Structure 1
Amino acid sequence: MRIAVTGSIATDHLMTFNGCFRDQLLTDRLDHVSLSFLADRLDVRRGGVAANISFGLGQLGIGPVLVGAVGADFEPYRLWLKRHGVDTDSVRVSEQLHTARFVCTTDRMQNQIATFYAGAMVEARQIDLGAVVERVGRLGLVMVSPDDPDAMVRHTRACRTLGVPFAADPSQQLATLGRAQARDLVDGARWLFTNAYESGLLLERTGWAEEEVLRRVGCWVVTQGADGVRLLAADRPPRTVPAVDVVGVVDPTGVGDAFRAGFLAGLAWGVPEKCAAQLGCVLAATALDYVGTQEYRLYREPLVAQIRRTYGVGCIAHLVTHLRGLR
């Protein structure tokens, strides 16, 4: 199954603060906040939700089609993604704006404060998904991840027009969406992705109860950090897949993107959704051991061993054949 991933492509500036944000906050002054944190480390990494997901899919041999907008400074990043199995020929290059920037500071309790500069991402609304289909042929799934809101809506509507199944991942953009936009992005999605906090925000933005959302999507995938993943659908009881135990988290940035890459790879291979979720959780745990969202590497034996150690042998037969392409 060929997968296109639409969404943000960015450069991440990741800093660490050796204290706790909460110690700097005065509860009676929160309406006038002016703070500066002295960071003790800076890492400049490649990022952006769509690029992160595509990177993971590329490592697993899926060959995803990346769809987004960047600046003229993207060329080194393009070469990096192509080396890791990502089709970047449908990425739009702006003539005026820089590639988006994500600036994030993480304290010692793994709390984060971040700012995102959209830059060239605003031109994603000019991308024609129909032209992407003409270039690559039939798509089995389009993952609509956080992007310029107008682009997200346009891609979702294009999927309906073209008859292409789509997955909705509004996540970071939920706070900026109006009710009509939020409903448009969710309604008819084969898969819906949120984390636990975003689940409540999605209900507030759409004005729908959980039961109504489930009537409108195929499966709602809710990531819950250390509590694992919930798979919700209207026609069956909720299922929970436990998370992989991780000792000493290095950097949580992009862990949700790694999960999505593993989960989508499982869908592309046609494995049961429980097995896809297990693979996603293992990729998420792998990403937690690295600073940056595209620094982790996947190796067959450690992946299989982690799946067996955490979940037993139930999904090994479904996954091992597809993992043989890894070293």
Structure 2
Amino acid sequence: MRIALSGSIATDHLMVYPGRFADQLVAGRLEHVSLSFLADSLDLRRGGVAANIAFGLGLLGLRPILIGAVGSDFGAYEVWLKEHGVDTESVHVFPAHHTARFVCTTDAEHNQIATFYAGAMAEARTIALAPVAERAGELDLVLVSPNDPEAMLRHARECRELGIPFASDPSQQLARLDREEVRALVDGADTLFTNEYESALLLERSGWTERQVLDRTRRWVTTLGAAGSRIRRADRPTLEIPSVPTTAAADPTGVGDAFRSGFLAATAWGLPLERAAQLGSALATTVLERVGTQEYVLDRAELALRLTLAYGPEAAAEFAPHLARAL
């Protein structure tokens, strides 16, 4: 199964503040906020939503196609992605720009304050999907993830025109999209991804009810942090899947992207939705235990043990032949 991932490719600047953001917020003064947090550490990491998801899929043996816009500083990052199974031939380089930057500070309770600089990503709207599909032979799924908003809308529209199934992950860009734009990203999506907060924001921005959203997408997958994930479908029972627990949480950045990698890989292998969410949760916990979104490795025995402890030996056995081929 050929999966293409359209979205952001970025460098992450990750800082840790040892206190609580909430302690610095003054009730009644939130309309005029001027705060500075003294961070204890700074890590520079590879990131970007599409690149993170592609990295996870590459580790799982799917050779995903990455689609995005980068600057002239992308060389070393491209080598890294290729070494980890990602097809980067559809990444466009715009030498006049820097690759996008994600600057994020995380507090002691894993709350985050972040700023994203688009840089070359603003040029992603010029990238067409038809040449990608022609080069790849056939695309079975395109994930439209956070990117330049015009690029997201273009790629969803092109998928409908070309008859390519697409998954929609509007994520952080929901704050930038108006009602018709949100509806355009939802309508006809094979899978809709959100976290719990984005789920409520999507309903508010689209003006649709939950039922109206479900009538326009085959399934709606919502991550719930430590509570796991939820899969909703029209006229079908809701699936509630617990997370894979950990006692070694380090950094939540990229956890949702890792979940999507596992979920998409499992569905590409033809596994049921419950299993897809379980593999997504296992990868999410693996990333949670490390600083950086692409600093993890996947070990077959370790992953099988996580799945067994969280979901039982039957689940682990169902994954076993796929993991044996991938890892």
Corresponding letter in the other structure for 2:83: R
Give the match for residue 139 of structure 1. Answer: 139
Give the match for residue 198 of structure 1. Answer: 198
Q: Following the alignment from structure 2 to structure 1, what is the Cα–Cα distance between the partners of residues 21 and 80?
A: 34
> Segments of 4+ in structure 1 off by > 6 A?
none
The structural deviation recorded for 1:97 is 1.0
Q: Following the alignment from structure 2 to structure 1, what is the Cα–Cα distance between the partners of residues 89 and 68?
A: 10
Q: Following the alignment from structure 1 to structure 2, what is the Cα–Cα distance between the partners of residues 238 and 288?
A: 26
Give the match for residue 181 of structure 1. Answer: 181
Give the root-mean-square deviation of aligned CA atoms.
0.9
1:118-165 C-alpha deviation (Å, 9 max, x unpaired): 010010000010010011110110011000010001000111111110
Corresponding letter in the other structure for 1:187: D
Secondary structure at the counterpart of residue 259 of structure 1: helix
1:208 aligns with 2:200: no
Note if contact 1:70-1:94 (Cα within 8 Å) is conserved in structure 2. yes
The structural deviation recorded for 1:190 is 0.5
Secondary structure at the counterpart of residue 240 of structure 1: strand
The structural deviation recorded for 1:267 is 1.1
Corresponding letter in the other structure for 2:301: E
Unaligned runs of 5+ in 2: none
Q: Following the alignment from structure 1 to structure 2, what is the Cα–Cα distance between the partners of residues 155 and 319?
A: 32
Give the match for residue 102 of structure 1. Answer: 102
Q: Following the alignment from structure 2 to structure 1, what is the Cα–Cα distance between the partners of residues 314 and 131?
A: 41
The structural deviation recorded for 1:326 is 4.9
Q: Under a length normalisation based on structure 2, what TM-score does the superposition of the two structures give?
A: 0.98
Give the match for residue 86 of structure 1. Answer: 86
Give the match for residue 304 of structure 2. Answer: 304
Corresponding letter in the other structure for 1:148: D
The structural deviation recorded for 1:315 is 2.5
Corresponding letter in the other structure for 1:239: L
Give the match for residue 3 of structure 1. Answer: 3
Secondary structure at the counterpart of residue 208 of structure 1: coil
Q: Following the alignment from structure 1 to structure 2, what is the Cα–Cα distance between the partners of residues 319 and 188?
A: 29
The structural deviation recorded for 1:270 is 0.8
In the alignment of these two chains, the number of paired residues is: 327
Secondary structure at the counterpart of residue 95 of structure 2: coil
1:68-87 C-alpha deviation (Å, 9 max, x unpaired): 00000001000000000000
1:180-208 C-alpha deviation (Å, 9 max, x unpaired): 11000000001000001000100011110
The structural deviation recorded for 1:248 is 3.1
Q: Following the alignment from structure 1 to structure 2, what is the Cα–Cα distance between the partners of residues 326 and 181?
A: 37
Corresponding letter in the other structure for 2:158: A
Q: Following the alignment from structure 2 to structure 1, what is the Cα–Cα distance between the partners of residues 290 and 4?
A: 26
Give the match for residue 41 of structure 1. Answer: 41
Give the match for residue 74 of structure 1. Answer: 74
Give the match for residue 246 of structure 1. Answer: 246
Q: Following the alignment from structure 1 to structure 2, what is the Cα–Cα distance between the partners of residues 318 and 130?
A: 36
1:239-291 C-alpha deviation (Å, 9 max, x unpaired): 11101111131000000000000000001111111111100000000001100
1:52-77 C-alpha deviation (Å, 9 max, x unpaired): 00000000000000000000000100
Secondary structure at the counterpart of residue 68 of structure 1: strand
Give the match for residue 220 of structure 2. Answer: 220
Corresponding letter in the other structure for 1:260: R
Give the match for residue 166 of structure 2. Answer: 166
Q: Under a length normalisation based on structure 1, what TM-score does the superposition of the two structures give?
A: 0.98
Q: Following the alignment from structure 2 to structure 1, what is the Cα–Cα distance between the partners of residues 22 and 117?
A: 25
Give the match for residue 320 of structure 2. Answer: 320
Identity of aligned residues (%): 62
Give the match for residue 54 of structure 1. Answer: 54
